[in-house]
Amino acid sequence: MPLFEPSKLPKIDIEPKLISLANGGVDRLRARLVDQIVMSPLPWLLIPAEVQAFFQGHVRRALMFIEGGYDAYLASRGLIVYTCARAIYETFAFVMDFCEKLEGHLADSDFEKIGAFVQANQFAARMEEFVERKVIVDEVIDNTVVNILTKIQRISKRVPEFLNEYEYLSERTHPNGLGALYYFWESGKDVIKFSNSVDHDHSILNLLKAGYLLGVMDITMATTERQLANHKWL
């Protein structure tokens, strides 16, 4: 059953195609869900399995945010909807950046560095206590995560308006004017009135756009899977 039901969406100008694309993106990721991934000691099977584990974690993360965002919308909690949409944009950027860089590593055909790259992204971390370092051919490789804004700026070169939309979502979700006072207040003649649903209807538009991105993410992951399947490891 599609996640977004048109009958439950607000009476504002929402293109039916966007609803269809968002539902398609969700369905694509749902079809990827598995309960387990079998690992192998053989390197040409191990790396594709590790990539699948990486994908599975981000697929589940994206689905939790988009399904949770829709539940929040139905409960009239638009600020949470914006927050979930922003998290999906970040997940999209992380996966897209990973796939692009993995393609470059596969072109170099250095098995040890490919494995190190995949594992570093699987367990990417910012806190020093979770950072691990290893030396491969005199090069230090660790799992220190790259700032997500850096990844988003890279993606925005190929996806028009991506950065602007992300920055708008950040304005909505941070405790600043748009994310606090302006979100809740309604103008009055002699008094400021507050409501939890001032901008509730428009929040769903951003979640639908995030749903569309999930379809793009699935296509990119499928391309990476084909590259791994066709790669000559020996």
Among 16, 73, 84, 65, which residue's Cα sits nearest to residue 204? 73
DSSP state string for 150-193:
HHHHHHHTTSTTHHHHHHHHHHHHSSSTTTTHHHHEE--SSS-E
* DSSP H or E stretch at residue 222: helix 200-230
Quote the CA–CA distance of 86 and 225 in Å, as a whole number: 26
pLDDT in tens, the chain (234 residues): 899 999 999 877 889 999 999 999 999 999 999 999 998 888 778 899 999 999 999 999 999 999 999 999 999 899 999 999 999 999 999 999 999 999 988 888 778 888 888 888 877 666 666 566 665 656 656 666 778 888 899 988 888 889 999 999 999 899 888 888 878 887 767 888 887 766 677 889 999 999 999 999 999 999 999 999 998 876
Confirm whether pTM is higher than 0.95. no
Give me the phi and psi of 141, to 5 degrees please. -120, 130
